[in-house]
A = this chain, B = another copy of it.
Amino acid sequence: MYPTTYRLALTGLGNVGSSLLSILHREKTSLHKRYGVKFLVTGVAELGGGAIDDNGLDLALLLETLRNNSPVAELANIGRPGMDGIELMAQSRPDFLLEATPVNLQHGQPGLGIAKAALEKGIHTVLANKGAVAIAYKELAAMSDLGAGWGGNFDPTFVPSTGKSPCPALRFSACVAGALPTINIGLRELAGSQITRIEAVFNGTTQYILRAMESGQSYQEALQNAQQRGIAETDPTLDVDGWDAAAKLVIVANSVLGQTTQLKDVQIQGIHSLSIKDVQMIARDGQRLVPVSLAEYVDGHYQFSVKPMALATDHPLSCLTPDEMGVVFYAGDVERLSIASSEPGPEPAAAAMLRDMLDIICHQIK
């Protein structure tokens, strides 16, 4: 029998964090009915402070505050100006840390420090922040259930660094393309099979731009449209130069393929210098230019690259809509397994955080 109530602390109240709060609010009854669980958000933090309520924050009030772009730290009684993610955990005493602070691919902060602090305390940790996982997967895994071989490569010498039992769980399925279950398919659905190749569209901005250029927009027009629609960031560098996709590939390399990999190990070619002509010429040749993240198994090792590639029009990645991301695994007896998911906004990534929480509850805690 599962315990029924879990205390949650959420760091980061941007698109994904607030979308997760919205889902937890809306699905409260359904989650209790279907999974026998009740979630209390006992604390949240963003840059500048947060809010704490030992009995569970009023999610309707929090969501209204976020909609009004007001700082939650200024809320009466519950507001905590200046509180950071580390203090949040001491004050909210959570069973779960939900980490959705902004991504930094140089040092992974503040998410990395917050995640490590949580795991050290034995708190189950669910990340949407790919920076922390891309930079420090091994370190985080060793502090968690993943070090014991959560279906990945088996380490018979593993002892949880926390020395605690049960070992805190670590999940990050939202980090590799939102609701697209890249990590889970690679680890669980292909368990026992040798993955020989992965082709993926891991970045929504470049996918949107290349599809728009195919239909005649210039790179600049397509980028501006993507920004207006909220797909591309104001500073699109991480996306269009390939770093976002490369970070996702690094996470897959470390967690699914079991090969220690850093961002510098990925060959990267961005899309910013492509012309309409480049894209349309390939389309005229009966192919399609797709922003591919690639892992190839060559001579006993995986090689990684991010680059625009011309694919046949019936390739699963050519069939994606401008809003979709996708991944194709090639894995021995499982010849080809393809997945795709629509990622028009932050909701799928938030839903992925929820599935990770339920995975931990159903498979680790019970």
A residues lining the B interface (CB < 8 Å): 1-2, 19, 23, 27, 30-31, 33-36, 148-151, 153-154, 156, 173, 179-181, 184-185, 188-194, 258, 314, 316, 319, 321, 324, 332-342, 344, 347-348, 350-351, 354-355, 357-359, 362-363, 366
Residue of B nearest to A184 (CB): B189
**Alpha-carbon distance between A33 and B154 when the two chains are bound, in angstroms:** 7
**Alpha-carbon distance between A193 and B316 when the two chains are bound, in angstroms:** 25
Residue of B nearest to A351 (CB): B333
Contacts of A339 in B (CB 8 A): 337-340
Contacts of A192 in B (CB 8 A): 23, 27, 31, 35, 351, 354-355, 357-358
Are B189 and A151 interface neighbours, CB within 8 A? no
Are A337 and B341 interface neighbours, CB within 8 A? yes
Are A348 and B362 interface neighbours, CB within 8 A? no
- Copy number in this complex? 2
Contacts of A189 in B (CB 8 A): 173, 179, 181, 184-185, 355
Contacts of A194 in B (CB 8 A): 30
Partner of A362, one of B31, B149, B321, B332: B149
Are A154 and B35 interface neighbours, CB within 8 A? yes
CB distance from A149 to the nearest CB of B (A): 7
Residue of B nearest to A153 (CB): B34
**Alpha-carbon distance between A238 and B1 when the two chains are bound, in angstroms:** 40
Are B351 and A193 interface neighbours, CB within 8 A? yes
**Alpha-carbon distance between A359 and B362 when the two chains are bound, in angstroms:** 13
Are A335 and B348 interface neighbours, CB within 8 A? yes
**Alpha-carbon distance between A274 and B351 when the two chains are bound, in angstroms:** 41
List 9 contacting pairs A-B, 8 Å CB cutoff, sorted by A: A23-B192, A35-B154, A179-B189, A180-B337, A184-B188, A191-B362, A316-B319, A335-B341, A336-B342
